[in-house]
């Protein structure tokens, strides 16, 4: 995956996905830099709780769209 940057708005910003097939829904808010391990991160908001946190971009791209 190409490095995520704050200067462009990726198509997945605003997407609502779930953690795996049966997990809670979250909204993708935007790029969040890189982890100490060098992995791209996105900022998400868990819809059930309103919590915002960083999440690995690779995991986000593999999560299904919420229905």
Q: Please tell me the distance from the alpha carbon of residue 47 to that of residue 63, in angstroms, as a whole number.
A: 15
Q: What angle do CA 45, 48, 49 make, to 5 degrees?
A: 70
Q: Where are the domains of the chain?
A: 27-67
**Would the pTM count as exceeding 0.75?**
yes
Q: What is the pLDDT of residue 4?
A: 56
Q: What angle do CA 19, 65, 63 make, to 5 degrees?
A: 40
CB count within 10 Å of CB 61 equals 14
Model confidence pLDDT, tens digit, residues 4-42: 555 566 889 999 999 999 999 999 999 999 999 999 999
């Amino acid at each position: 995956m190409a490095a995520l940057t704050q200067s462009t708005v990726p198509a997945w910003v605003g997407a609502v996905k779930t953690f795996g097939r049966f997990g809670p829904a979250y909204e993708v808010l935007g790029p969040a830099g890189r982890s100490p391990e060098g992995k791209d991160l996105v900022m998400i908001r868990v819809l059930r709780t309103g919590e915002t946190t960083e999440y690995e971009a690779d995991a986000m791209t593999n999560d299904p769209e919420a229905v």
